Amino acid sequence: MTKVFFIRHAQSLANVERRYQGQSLDTELSEFGVQQAQALAGQLRSQSLSKVVTSPLKRAHQTAEIIATALGIPLEIDPLLIETNHGEWEGQKFTDLETNYPDLWKYWQTYPSRMVFPGGEAFADVAARVLSWWKKEAVNYPAHTAIVTHDTIIQAILTRLHKLNLDHIRDFRIRNTSTTIVELTRPPKVLTIGDISHLADYSL
- Contact status, residue 36 vs residue 176, Cβ threshold 8 Å: yes
150-183 burial by CB neighbour count: b if 16+ within 10 A, else e? bbbbbbbbbbbeeeeebeebeebebebbbbbbbe
Instruction: Indicate the fold that domain 10-199 takes in CATH.
Output: Rossmann fold (3.40.50)
Q: For residue 140, name the pLDDT band (cuts at 50, 70, 90).
A: confident
Is residue 90 annotated as a catalytic residue, yes or no?
no
Give dist(CA 146, CA 6) in Å, integer.
6
Whether 146 shows a pLDDT value over 90: the answer reads yes
Domain spans of the chain, in order of start: 10-199
- Model pTM score: 0.96
Give the mean pLDDT of 60-69.
Answer: 99
Q: For residue 204, name the pLDDT band (cuts at 50, 70, 90).
A: low
Give the mean pLDDT of 110-118.
Answer: 98
Is residue 144 annotated as a catalytic residue, yes or no?
no
Of 9, 86, 150, 198, which is the active-site residue? Answer: 9
Of 61, 83, 90, 121, which is the active-site residue? Answer: 83
Q: Is 10 annotated in some ligand binding site?
A: yes
List the beta bridge partners of residue 3: 183
Give the mean pLDDT of 51-58.
Answer: 98
DSSP β-ladder status, 189-195 and 179-183 = antiparallel
Helix (H/G/I), strand (E/B), else coil: 119: coil
In tens, the pLDDT along 152-186 reads 999 999 999 999 999 999 999 999 999 999 999 99
Q: Is 18 annotated in some ligand binding site?
A: no
